[in-house]
Amino acid sequence: MYKLLENGRILTPEFEIRPGKVLICDDIITGVYGPDDPLPKVSELTINLEGRIVFPALINCHDHMYETFGPRGEDGHFRNWFDWERDFLESPIHRLKQYLSIADLYALGMYRNAISGVGLVVDHFPREVSGTFLGKPLLAMLEHFFLAHSVSSHALEWGEGLYEEFCQSRGVLPFILHMEEGFDSDIVEEIEVLNRLGALAENTVLVNGIGFSDSDLELIAAKKASVVWTPEANRHIFGSMAPVAKMLDMGIPVVLGTDSPMKGSANLFDELRLARAISHDHLGDRLKSVDLIDMVTRRAAQVFRVGAQRGTIAEGKFADLLIFEDLKGDPFESFFALTPRDVTILTHRGVLVFGDEAFRNACFVEFDQFSEVLVGGRPKLIWGKPLQLLERISSKLGVPCVFPFLPIAEP
């Protein structure tokens, strides 16, 4: 089925905003055209965007969906990740979380990401669990990657072993692990250990890195590895920040992730705003608007080796689109002001999965698969039954549930 989104203002792969239209066949973009360009096919459904902005759906470069719960504890300023872990495992919140199934937590994580414009999540968790949730209609999870938890003596036993996982990646697929999340002696030596093991390479993706030294960064840059920055988790847990400016100076690819709501921001919109504020207050505005957008679109797709399918709006890519109004009179300012209530349309593989109730004709599938909800007081449609999910969770916990990362209510 051919679908046409017309009268839009489209973010190009060069990060310019141009008027145009997008032709979609089933789940693939078949072409991006100027307003007056003829179309090679007649569309069976046309949606008038009335000047709204069209971005590629965002990529959340680091999440732990099994930790989608709350409320979050007070700022801890822990010295190491395992100190935070020990404190959390002894908390009432952790005990309450045990009443929920892994399916409950992953469903919460998917809704949390979808309402903040995310089309692809990099869920960092062993595949025997996370793989169960691949292929869901709401959004995509990164499928082809290898992983370890971390390198130090405190590392959790994920996957088939660090070196075996790296070898299986064959230098092609992403190899993802936490790195230097803290300041303990064996934590700050993790880069050296990883390099000695032969597992620091161009396809290695390092998450966090608040303990990176100058020599660590030189090694990372020489090996052409990439880093995922999670600024709110850095601030909340450690009261510190990864040396982002030095990474940029050395040409290290940096992308952006939320971490879980137990540690990081409520959603990717909030994380982007925080990264922008940090750039303004501490980095001399080093990261411009387009740089930050790049970190959750094109560059993110390149780092995780999915650039052929995602990250930009172009022919042959998945029709994963984030559409919103230009409420600020500047598309980039409007983007950085977004909250879930401001999302007009989010499509996943060409199908509306979240958006304004007024665009119900853009669902393209049976309407009974959707729910009518309020998000920030605005009527929305969303795929699935999130209100039933929240009711089930409230029943399991024995108390009404209010999750700040999922501001959904009955209409």
User: What tokens appear for 284 in the block?
Assistant: 């001399």
The pLDDT of residue 251 is above 90: yes
| 206 and 96 within one domain | yes
Residues 283, 342, single domain; the answer is no
Same domain, 51 and 73: no
- Asked if pLDDT for residue 365 goes beyond 70, the answer is no
| C-alpha to C-alpha distances, 320 to 177, 224, 228, 316, 386, nearest whole angstrom | 27, 29, 22, 12, 21
Residues 108-147, buried b or exposed e (16+ Cβ, 10 A)?
A: bbbbbbbbbbbbbbbbbbebeebeebeebebbbbbeebbb
Residue 398 to residue 411: CA distance in whole angstroms: 23
Which range of residues forms the domain containing residue 239?
Answer: 58-303
Question: Over 90: is that where the pLDDT of 378 sits?
Answer: yes
Task: Select from 303, 336, 357 the last residue of a domain.
Answer: 303
Least confident of 15-24, 343-352, 356-365: 356-365
* Listed residue (54, 11, 8, 112) closest to 324, CA to CA: 54
pLDDT value of residue 169: 96
| pLDDT reported for residue 73 | 78
CA-to-CA distance for 406 and 10, rounded, in angstroms?
28
Residue whose pair of structure tokens reads 């959390």 in the numeric block: 88
Residues 335, 219, single domain; the answer is: no
- Can you tell me whether residue 154 is helix, strand or coil? coil
DSSP secondary structure letters along 184-244: STTTTTHHHHHHHTT--STTEEEEE-TT--HHHHHHHHHHT-EEEE-HHHIIIIIS----H
Q: Are 10 and 56 in contact (CB under 8 A)?
A: no
Q: Check whether residue 13 and residue 44 sit in a common domain.
A: yes
Q: Which residues 6+ apart lie within 8 Å of 101 measured at CB?
A: none
pTM: 0.97
Query: What would the pLDDT profile of 126-160 be if each residue is shown by its tens digit?
Result: 988 999 999 988 999 999 999 999 999 999 999 99
Question: Of 282, 303, 324, which closes a domain?
Answer: 303
pLDDT value for 309: 97
Per-residue pLDDT, averaged over 176-183, amounts to 96
101-117 pLDDT, tens digit per residue, is 999 999 999 999 999 99
If asked whether residues 251 and 109 sit together in one domain, one would say yes
How far is the first Cα of the chain from the last one, in angstroms, to the nearest whole number? 32
Q: Same domain, yes or no, for 290 and 181?
A: yes
My answer on whether 246 and 391 are in the same domain is: no
- Total domains present in the chain: 2
Same domain, 166 and 250: yes
- Whichever domain contains 349, its CATH number is 2.30.40.10
Q: How far is CA 353 from the centre of its chain?
A: 16
> Among the three residues 303, 338, 373, which one is the final residue of a domain in this structure?
303
One domain for residues 257 and 319: no
- Residue-wise pLDDT tens digits, 281-331: 999 999 999 999 999 999 999 999 999 999 999 999 999 999 999 999 999
Residue given tokens 């990099």 in the structure block: 122
What's the CATH code of the domain at 268? 3.20.20.140
Same domain as 270, residue 131: yes
What is each CA distance from 139 to 146, 197, 226, 319, 402, in whole angstroms? 20, 35, 24, 12, 23
* Cis amide linkage into residue 71, ω under 30° from 0: yes
Tell me the pLDDT of the chain averaged across its residues: 94
Helices (H) and strands (E) in the chain, counts: 14, 19
Q: Does 65 lie in the same domain as 47?
A: no
